Structure 1
Amino acid sequence: MSIKFKEIISTKEEFEEFRSFIGQPSQRAANKVISFIDQHCRDFISKSPFLSLSTSNSEGQCDVSPRGDSPGFVTVLDDQHLFIPERPGNRRMDSAENIITNPNIGLLFFIPGLGETLRINGKAYICRDPELLAMNTVNGRVPLFGILVEVEECFAHCAKAFIRSELWNPDSWLTKENLPSVPQMLVAHSKIPNVTADQVAKDLQEGYKSRLY
Structure 2
Amino acid sequence: MMKDSITSEQELRDYLGEPSINATSKVIPYIDEHVEAYIAKSPFLTMSTADENGVCDASPRGDAPGFVLVQDEKHLLIPERPGNKRADSLMNILKNPGIGLLFMIPGLGETLRINGKARLVKDAEWLEKMAVQGKAPLLAIQVEVEECYIHCAKAFIRSGLWKPDSWLEKEDLPKPSKILHAHTKLPDTTPDSIQKRLEEGYRERLY
TM category (shorter chain) comes to: over 0.9
Give the corresponding residue for 1:67. Answer: 61
Letter in 2 for 1:6: K
From 154, 170, 178, the equivalent of 1:160 is: 154
- Local SS of the residue matching 1:77: strand
Letter in 2 for 1:130: A
Deviation at 1:20, TM superposition (A): 1.6
TM-score (norm 2): 0.98
Give the corresponding residue for 2:49. Answer: 55
Give the corresponding residue for 2:136. Answer: 142
TM-score (norm 1): 0.96
Does residue 42 of the first structure (1) align with residue 36 of the second (2)? yes
Deviation at 1:126, TM superposition (A): 0.4
Q: Which moved more, 1:90-99 or 1:135-144?
A: 135-144
Does residue 9 of the first structure (1) align with residue 6 of the second (2)? yes
Aligned length: 207
Give the corresponding residue for 1:113. Answer: 107
CA distance in structure 2 between the partners assigned to 1:107 and 1:131 by the alignment? 24
Give the corresponding residue for 1:87. Answer: 81
Letter in 1 for 2:151: H
Give the corresponding residue for 2:19. Answer: 25
Which stretches in structure 2 are left out of the alignment for 5+ residues?
A: none
- Local SS of the residue matching 1:41: helix
Give the corresponding residue for 2:126. Answer: 132
- Local SS of the residue matching 2:59: strand
CA distance in structure 1 between the partners assigned to 2:184 and 2:15 by the alignment? 45
CA distance in structure 2 between the partners assigned to 1:96 and 1:159 by the alignment? 30
Deviation at 1:141, TM superposition (A): 1.1
Deviation at 1:5, TM superposition (A): 1.4
Which stretches in structure 1 are left out of the alignment for 5+ residues?
A: none
CA distance in structure 2 between the partners assigned to 1:48 and 1:92 by the alignment? 25
Cα deviations by residue, 1:101-125 (Å, 9 ceiling, x for unpaired): 0000000000000000000000000
CA distance in structure 1 between the partners assigned to 2:43 and 2:126 by the alignment? 19
Deviation at 1:144, TM superposition (A): 1.4
Q: Which moved more, 1:142-151 or 1:109-118?
A: 142-151
Percent of aligned pairs sharing the same letter: 58
CA distance in structure 2 between the partners assigned to 1:62 and 1:113 by the alignment? 28
Letter in 2 for 1:134: E
CA distance in structure 1 between the partners assigned to 2:150 and 2:94 by the alignment? 28
Cα RMSD of the aligned pairs, angstroms, is 0.7
Give the corresponding residue for 1:210. Answer: 204
CA distance in structure 2 between the partners assigned to 1:5 and 1:66 by the alignment? 31
Deviation at 1:18, TM superposition (A): 2.7
Give the corresponding residue for 2:98. Answer: 104
